[in-house]
Amino acid sequence: MNLKDMFKIAIGNLTHRRVRSWLTLIGIFAGIAAIVALISLGQGLEGAVTEQFASLGVDVLSIQGAGNSFGPPGATSVGKVTDHDISLLKRINGVKTVFGRQLMPALVEYRGNSEALFLASIPSKEGVAVIRDIMDFDLEEGYLISGTDKGKITIGSKVEIDGLKPEVGSKVTIGGKEFEVVGILKKKGNFMIDDSILMSEVAMDELFDLNGDYSLLVVAAEADADMVQLKDSVERTLRRDRGQKVGEEDFVVSSPQETIDSFKEILTIVQILLVGIAAISLVVGAIGILNTMYTAVLERRKEIGIMKSIGATNEQVLGIFLIESGMLGLLGGFIGLVLGIMISKGVEIGVKAAYDIAILKAALPWWLLVGALLFSFVIGSLAGTLPAMQASRMDPVESLRK
């Protein structure tokens, strides 16, 4: 009996017990489908968010007061960042430019309705080019304000006041002062752009009497600067100026790369947890295969006895049962893989249709596809090992008596 014959016998046995085989597959393909869908969406989300943060540039640092929650500068911070800090940081080697940004909520009124929205400043001097490059603004209509425009704003694509969307040329009231909408940005799938109102730094400073305090500072590095060393220099300069020790700072210095790394760590932990939960279905599936193969051994004692009596070796009988269980696992893995891809793509399409954003994408790396099939085959083979060993050790005389 060669390997081809063993496969023919195994396939014949599975098709003969078609209903039982399908019932056995449920646990396997449910587990594989869940794992493939979760990992696919997790990888897609990680890639999309990484792309979003990477678009902010890896050659910039941000500095804000410890505890700042983007309210009015200093309002919720242990510390604050100011024009004085800007003048200090500009002297550091490797720094191209430093500028401040105001980020805060404000009540916006439009046609008798009002709503709290998010304001973000456009720098008034050399920071304009940097912030435009970082945020990559694209306009749907109108134009982008400059850092010195007064009485004018550019709004994100999702900005609405009580369900009403201001148009270019319309007027809104912020902090008791009237502003003209001169531009609307294209949708980016980034809340920092889509849900924000852009106002010049000069206008925000006058409107809220900020007096040189900022929500955060942006440090743009020279092209050849070492970002790790630059971050260390920035921290040392601010600590020395404020008379603070390591660990006692009232400011936080961060970079987009650090944010990306932190997000990846959190997402990896969440994925491991979810995949662990989904793996319970695989355990159930493995038990199902184990039970099916044990039942097959009991039902086919005479068949096993006949095969052995006409010359089948223990290894060949073992191989037939291992092939059966492995094929059950592989078939379950294939069905689960297809279902998992359909689920992940369905979620991607559903989220895009519901929220009109493409940040949640289904990623299908080759290792996920190959790994799912290989894993399901191994699970099936392992589950069938004990029944296969039992079948191979059966005495042909005793089997034929049953």
Task: In whole angstroms, give the CA distance from residue 203 to residue 195.
Answer: 19
Average pLDDT for 288-313: 74
- Can you tell me the distance from the alpha carbon of 315 to that of 72, in angstroms, rounded to the nearest whole number? 77
Same domain? For 323 and 227 the reply is no
3-state secondary structure of 171: strand
Number of domains composing the chain: 2
Q: Give the predicted TM-score (pTM) of the model.
A: 0.62
User: Domain check: are 27 and 112 in the same one?
Assistant: no
Q: Max Cα separation, the chain?
A: 100
Residues 113 and 195 in one domain: yes
Residues 268, 245, single domain; the answer is: no
What does the pLDDT read at residue 167? Answer: 93
- pLDDT per residue over 306-320, tens digit each? 777 777 788 887 888
Give yes or no: residues 231 and 355 share one domain.
no
Q: What pLDDT is stored for residue 141 in this prediction? A: 93
Residue at a domain's end among 211, 237, 255: 255
Residues 314 and 346 occupy one common structural domain? yes
For residue 366, the enclosing domain spans 3-53+260-401
Last residue of a domain, one of 210, 231, 255: 255
**Residue appearing with tokens 């092209």:** 223
Place of tokens 């006041």: 161
Asked if residue 32 lies in contact with residue 328, where contact means CB atoms within 8 angstroms, the answer is: no
Based on the fold, state whether residues 230 and 158 are members of the same structural domain. Answer: yes
- Is the pLDDT confidence value at 75 over 50? no
Q: Are the CB atoms for 217 and 81 separated by under 8 Å?
A: yes
Q: How many whole angstroms separate alpha carbon 220 and alpha carbon 318?
A: 67
Residues 329 and 376: beta-carbon distance below 8 Å:
yes
Pick from 124, 154, 160, 159: nearest CA to 137: 154
Residues 326 and 271 in one domain: yes
Task: Give residue-wise pLDDT tens across range 137-170.
Answer: 888 999 999 888 889 999 999 999 988 999 999 9
Average confidence score pLDDT of the chain: 81
DSSP character at residue 164: B
Residue 198: pLDDT band (50, 70, 90) is: very high
269 and 367 part of one domain = yes
Tell me, yes or no, whether 74 and 134 share the same domain: yes
Helices (H) and strands (E) in the chain, counts: 13, 13
Same domain, 341 and 375: yes
Answer yes or no: do 69 and 100 share one domain: yes
What's the first-to-final CA gap in the chain, in angstroms?
25
Average pLDDT of the segment spanning 46-58: 64
How distant, in Å, are the alpha carbons of 153, 247, 398 from that of 387? 74, 61, 17
Residue ending a domain, among 255, 273, 301, is: 255
For residue 141, the surrounding DSSP H or E stretch is strand 139-142
Indicate whether 55 pLDDT > 60.
no
